[in-house]
Amino acid sequence: MISIQQQNYGLSVILHDEFTLADFRQLEEALLKAIEQVQLPNLLLDLSQMKDFTIDMALEHLRFLRQHAHDFGRTAIIVNDIWIRLGARLANLLTLQRPKYFSDRYTALKWLEQGIQNSGVISNHN
């Protein structure tokens, strides 16, 4: 299951239980919309409640990241499970992404908001 909310820094995404291809399609749609609305949107990806993911989703995720490698600003990933963290790091190595990993939401949000202040995120809809 997936929960997606638009925030002042970009998108906040929380994944619960299993991350499926249907969940990824929702995420992909939200990410493409965010790219249209904000120059280099930041992402908060909370994997702390995720238990598993499907292989078809993982392949689509890699494809998407390769196509949009330069379309996002900062990415903060909240993760506690060592295996989910390892999987996320491997995926990011394959796509040359440089997210930062956190164990709690507060620290991740602080880092994302610092990036907004430093980069001056520009909205296309003023």
pLDDT recorded at residue 97: 63
19 in Cβ contact with 57 (< 8 Å): yes
DSSP annotation of 47: E
User: 3-state DSSP call for residue 12?
Assistant: strand
Query: Could you tell me the pTM of the whole model?
Result: 0.78
- What tens digit of pLDDT does each residue of 67-89 get? 887 888 888 989 887 777 666 66
Q: Please list the pLDDT of the chain residue by residue as tens digits (126 residues).
A: 899 999 888 899 999 998 899 999 999 999 999 989 888 889 898 989 888 888 888 888 888 888 887 888 888 989 887 777 666 665 654 455 678 889 999 999 999 888 665 554 433 333
| Amino acid found at 107 | T
Q: What's the structural domain count of the chain?
A: 1
Tell me the three state secondary structure of residue 75: strand
Residues 6+ apart with CB under 8 A from 95: 62, 65, 66, 69
- d(CA 83, CA 68) in angstroms, rounded, equals 25
Please give the residue range of the domain that contains residue 98: 2-111
Classify residue 121: in a domain, yes or no.
no
**CATH number of residue 28's parent domain:** 3.40.50.10600
Residue 126 confidence (pLDDT): 35
Q: What is the DSSP letter of 30?
A: H
pLDDT score, position 96: 53
